[in-house]
Structure 1
Amino acid sequence: MTARVLVADDDNVVRSIIRAALEREGFNVSENDGSIDVEADLALKGADILVIGAGVARPSAIELCTRLRERPATASLPILILLDARLSEQRIGALSAGADDCMLLPLSPVELVVRIKNILRRLNPAVLQNLMRVGDLTLDIMSRRVHRQKREVKLGPTEFRLLEFLMRSPGRVYSRSELRASLWGDDASVDERAVDVHIGRLRKGISLGKSDKLIRTVRGSGYSLGDY
């Protein structure tokens, strides 16, 4: 399952920055711009973690967190609150209201991603364990879905297994015999040339119709998935 993040903030710029940073890491991001009640939004869309921005006005981020902690459905929902650096003293109030973490603005997208991952590893690690990422390519083991550059990639079952195997060790060069064993085990009836066929199909699928070097052919050795 891809980790779902709901970002609640009245500031369009902040939401856009957060969305871009999280989607690069393979998160499924929804936004709430204040035009709909956050509690209703959570009930409708669901989320694995909620990010409440400093731009939330009515109710305030701390008031919203307090309300969510009082409801059984959201009492254990992971929550990260963004606070205006000028109001850093509110950090204690936010943590007392039940926030799992707080960050001060200006926003560091890299730090935000790290903090969200740390919260999820601590509170709901399953939503991260099934998601694999190499560059702009993400693979969700549970849903069996692959995305590149935010576009879904359609792969056959063999190509999906091949990609999953390559993504486990990006940059490593695998021989054709190793790749054949990963796909078909000890079935000696499968020729190693079948690997070339499926590599070709996989390349075509993830290239999105463009010239692409994500999968390298290493002459005399085999294949490697680029490690960026």
Structure 2
Amino acid sequence: MSVQRQPTILTVEDESALSEVLRYNLEAEGFRVVQAADGEEGMLMALEEEPDLILLDWMLPKLSGIEVCRRLRAQAQTRLIPIVMLSARSEDVDKVRGLETGADDYVVKPYSIVELMARLRTQLRRTRPATVNERLVWEDLVLDTEEHRVYRGGKPVALGPTEFRLLTTFMEKPKRVWTREQLLDRVWGRDVYVETRTIDVHVGRLRKALMKHGDADPIRTVRGTGYSLG
């Protein structure tokens, strides 16, 4: 049975002890963690993994966190990934510089793990609300991630687990066009081999379920690319 991909967090931290503390706590919260120990490796990992969030230290070997942040924001592939910057610099001018460079949040060392986790979830709530048990609503569709239920026009919609994950992905970012490869990564995970035409089968099942009561098809096929909600 396929399993929904865990949200991936990239930590870019050169202090190995602190990096391991972050990994331990993030994995305990249910996240998949990938690690980089310097700025250049952090750039490469961000492009390769396309994580759901990046924890980025300011002071890094080879390439500073500020420069990594600036470069990530300049690339279409990574410009929307939330970045939480970690730094021992506590002056307001440093915080402003970090945020103006493109960081979404700025956490001063030493920090409380509990507070850090809360801040991460705040960022994920904005970009991947299903990971924090949010109810997703789009037009007449309601998806409850905690109770695992879907309604359209107030009527329950019966979905299999794969179709539920597909709809969750669509509803997190309505109107975004997803390629089949992106949907495979998001719904099945990067380490699972599934043929891309399998996506078409499951999208067909999802459409059938959502149109069961005579409602219009909410999923748009983008020829040569993939699918979009709305």
Q: What TM-score range do you get, normalising by the shorter chain?
A: 0.5 to 0.7
| 2:69 alignment partner in structure 1 | 65
1:51 maps to which residue? 55
Aligned-residue offset at 1:87: 5.0
Matches of 2:114 and 2:96, distance apart in 1: 23
Tell me, in whole angstroms, the C-alpha distance in 2 between the residues paired with 1:95 and 1:34.
20
In structure 1, the residue matched to 2:100 is 96
> Which amino acid is 2:10 matched to?
L
Deviations along 1:83-141, one digit per CA (max 9) or x if unpaired, are: 11455531100000010001000131111111000011022213444689xxxxxxxx8
Aligned to 2:142: none
Q: Secondary structure at the match of 2:19?
A: helix
Aligned-pair distance for 1:47? Answer: 0.4
CA contact (8 A) 1:52 1:81 kept: yes
* Partners of 1:91 and 1:16 in 2: CA distance: 25
Distance 1:7 1:68 in 2: 14
| Contact 2:7/2:52 (<8 A) preserved | yes
Asked if 1:4 corresponds to 2:8, the answer is: yes
2:115 matched to 1:106? no
Aligned residue for 1:80, secondary structure, equals: strand
Query: Residues 53-202 of structure 1 correspond to what in structure 2 (within 5 A)?
Result: 53-86=57-90, 89-129=93-133, 142=165
**Partner residue in 1 for 2:24:** 20
TM-superposed deviation, 1:55 = 3.8
**Whole-angstrom CA distance in 2 between matches of 1:21 and 1:59:** 26
Match of 1:223 in 2: none
CA distance in 2, matches of 1:84, 1:124: 28
Cα distance in 1 for residues equivalent to 2:32 and 2:71: 24
Q: Structure 1: which amino acid aligns with 2:72?
A: L
The residue identity in structure 1 corresponding to 2:64 is: S
Instruction: Report the alpha carbon displacement of residue 33 of structure 1 after superposing the two structures with TM.
Output: 1.2
The answer for unaligned runs of 5 or more in structure 2 is 134-144, 148-163, 166-186, 190-230
Aligned to 1:29: 33
Contact map agreement 1:2 1:128 (CA 8 A) in 2: no
Q: Cα gap change, 1:47/1:97 in structure 2, threshold over 3 Å: closer, same or farther? A: same
Deviation at 1:21, TM superposition (A): 1.3
Give the % identical residues: 27
> Is 2:54–2:81's contact at 8 Å kept on the other side of the alignment?
yes
| Cα distance change of structure 1 residues 29 and 8 upon mapping to structure 2, 3 Å threshold | same
Aligned-residue RMSD, C-alpha: 2.7
Following superposition, the deviation at residue 5 of structure 1 comes to 0.1
Structure-2 change in CA distance of 1:21 and 1:131 (3 Å): farther
TM-score scaled by length of structure 1: 0.54
Q: Describe the superposition over 1:43-62 as per-residue Cα deviations: whole angstroms up to 9, x where unpaired.
A: 22220001102342332111
Q: State the TM-score, normalizing by the size of structure 2.
A: 0.53
SS of the residue 2:77 aligns to? helix
Equivalent-residue separation in structure 1 for 2:42 and 2:86 (angstroms): 16
